[in-house]
Amino acid sequence: MSGAKKIVLVGGGHNALVAAYYLAKSGFQPLVLERRGVAGGAAVTEEFHPGFRVSTLAHSVGPLREDIAREMQLGKFGCEMIHPDPRVFAPAPDGRSLLFHNDHGKTAASIARHSAADAAKYPVFAAALGEIAGIFEQITQLTPPAIDHPSPEDLWNLLKVGHGIRGMGKRRIFDLLRWAPMAAADFVAEFFETELLRATIAARGIFGAALGPWSAGSTAVLLMRAAADAHPVGSASFPRGGLGAFTAALANAARKAGAEIRTGAEVARILTKDGAVTGVTLASGEEIVCGAVVSGADPKRTFFELVDPAQLDPSFIVRIKNLRAAGTVAKVNLALGGLPKFTALAGAENAAQALSGRIHIGPEIDYLEKAFDASKYGEFSAHPWLDVTLPTLSDATLAPAGKHVLSAYVQFAPFKLKQGGWEEQRAALGKAVLATLESYAPGISGLVEGAQIITPLDLQTTYGLTGGHIYHGEIALDQIFTMRPVLDWARYRTPIRGLYLCGSGTHPGNGLTGASGANAAREIARDLR
């Protein structure tokens, strides 16, 4: 048996690295155990074709919560962030397009080519979203309150949020109460008439979720995402060197603070005795004694694979079992021999700049809904919604000179297929993505030199995401805040003493922001003191 460590963190995803940093700064000795050869979880950079590297899964940063970024000082550890402008290029098959700039006035000018009324309303919408996002930002920094016996701190935190809500005024309060349960399609329709504009903004409410734009509650997801970045189309922040450079900086910051990180160390079992954690056993047979374990793995993997379920109350097991965590996202990475030419940018002098942020492929609300419909019946969409980046336009080091990498999130692709398995359907998914891209960038198929197709099953088997869910569980009205992951256990603690959760399956769980890890570390440090 190795020497005892105060705290062991299972998994080296970004939230676990953030938690390790804060626990080390609090005077503990955290040990991060990552089963793969590199820390970073779903935020890594890997070579997928000779000479071509890509952010394998996640391809843009959340962004990292402002206070976390300030305290971890990632720039000192080689993390250089790129913030392209425009953030999003949204083409339509007929050659029309929209550019969403960092500056709302520039975006309004782009929208004016389609609708003067929408151009006038866009700054109004951005201001309203920013105002409400401020409230949600406060909520993401809270530990969800205890429902039955809230502490004085819980009540104080809720009072501060309530004060912020009251400060918005009566009209905005009613807007918030009305908007949160709405379908994102209805939400954007209250402001805009242009389909392309509606679809690009509404898509933020369904990203990574088993929701379509007409699904009730998808606006709440959109507002949660706005807590991290209040821009109507969200973040477009890329680390030079890919997402692996970002998580490498997180790891180095954690090490500098006093954490230890071991890769190639797979945790096979979390050991317990008399309802409390005693240590972990690695797949190699090594046993590590500790007083606390923090799982960065998803809740289902933690309680059904790492912990002996006999140690848990049956009612808790049922709740975790019923946690919705069936993914709907696939990823396709392409090695391209040249820069694709989009019809909507024909003759444009700034084509490369327009493509340097994210590219939204999903021209209408009903297009997005039909893509979702396919997944409801166990099929991947033949005309998927794609969130695309060409990172080599900002960072030429990712590919050989003159060549490019294309990274595409693909929705919707259900974890469970009605017919056949994902190994049989892998090639067909790749063809559907290429056919969709051809509609906007004719000739792109001829540029492809290599491809990596990552299915929802791969997300589970290779990257440890149960059900292939990139957020460790559905982000929906009944699985957020005090109900994430389940009611009564939303405070990062678990029924087993000394066992905690810090991954995206906990509040707020809304992407690469580090919020879940930082919040969890705060509660763990209080307990262990």
- Domain range annotation of the chain: 5-42+66-79+242-324+472-528, 85-226, 326-461
> Which has the closest alpha carbon to 483: 251, 217, 257, 95?
217
Long-range contacts of 434-442 (CB under 8 A, 24+ apart): 435/382, 436/361, 436/383, 436/384, 436/386, 437/340, 437/361, 437/386, 437/388, 437/406, 437/408, 439/93, 440/91, 440/93, 440/342, 440/343, 440/344, 440/361, 441/340, 441/341, 441/342, 441/343, 442/341, 442/343
| Ramachandran area for residue 264 (φ above 0: left; ψ -120 to 50: alpha; else beta) | left
Q: How is domain 326-461 classified at the architecture level of CATH? A: 2-Layer Sandwich (3.30)
Query: Whole-angstrom Cα distance, residue 329 to residue 502?
Result: 22
Interhelix angle 14-25/515-528, rounded to 10 degrees, is 40
Whole-angstrom CA distances from 231 to 64, 134, 223 are: 15, 12, 11
**3-class SS of residue 114:** coil
Identify the band that residue 5 occupies on the pLDDT scale cut at 50, 70 and 90: low
> Which has the closest alpha carbon to 272: 449, 495, 93, 528?
495
DSSP 399: S
Q: Which pLDDT score, from 0 to 100, does residue 459 have?
A: 98
Identify the band that residue 510 occupies on the pLDDT scale cut at 50, 70 and 90: confident
Read off the pLDDT of residues 361-404 as tens digits, 9 standing for 90 and up.
999 999 999 999 999 999 999 999 999 999 999 999 999 999 99
**Residue 508, preceding bond cis, omega within 30 degrees?**
yes
**pTM to 2 decimal places:** 0.96
Task: State yes or no: pLDDT of 460 exceeds 60.
Answer: yes
- Overall average pLDDT of the 399-412 stretch: 98
Per CATH, is 5-42+66-79+242-324+472-528 categorized as 2.60.40.10?
no
Confirm if 223 and 48 have CB atoms less than 8 A apart.
no
Query: Whole-angstrom Cα distance, residue 380 to residue 376?
Result: 9
Read off the pLDDT of residues 98-108 as tens digits, 9 standing for 90 and up.
999 999 999 99
- Overall average pLDDT of the 415-429 stretch: 96
| φ, ψ for residue 15, nearest 5 deg | -65, -40
- Overall average pLDDT of the 313-337 stretch: 97
Read off the pLDDT of residues 264-292 as tens digits, 9 standing for 90 and up.
999 999 999 999 999 999 999 999 999 99
Mean pLDDT of the chain: 96
Task: State yes or no: pLDDT of 252 exceeds 80.
Answer: yes
> Which has the closest alpha carbon to 502: 35, 21, 5?
21
> Which has the closest alpha carbon to 437: 379, 486, 389?
389
Residues 210, 212, 216, 217: what is their CA dihedral angle, to the nearest 10 degrees? Answer: 60
Q: Which pLDDT score, from 0 to 100, does residue 4 have?
A: 41
Query: Whole-angstrom Cα distance, residue 56 to residue 67?
Result: 27
> Which has the closest alpha carbon to 296: 474, 54, 518, 87?
518
Task: State yes or no: pLDDT of 1 exceeds 80.
Answer: no
pLDDT above 70 coverage of the chain, percent: 99
Query: Whole-angstrom Cα distance, residue 49 to residue 54?
Result: 9
Confirm if 341 and 442 have CB atoms less than 8 A apart.
yes
Task: State yes or no: pLDDT of 3 exceeds 50.
Answer: no
Task: State yes or no: pLDDT of 213 exceeds 50.
Answer: yes
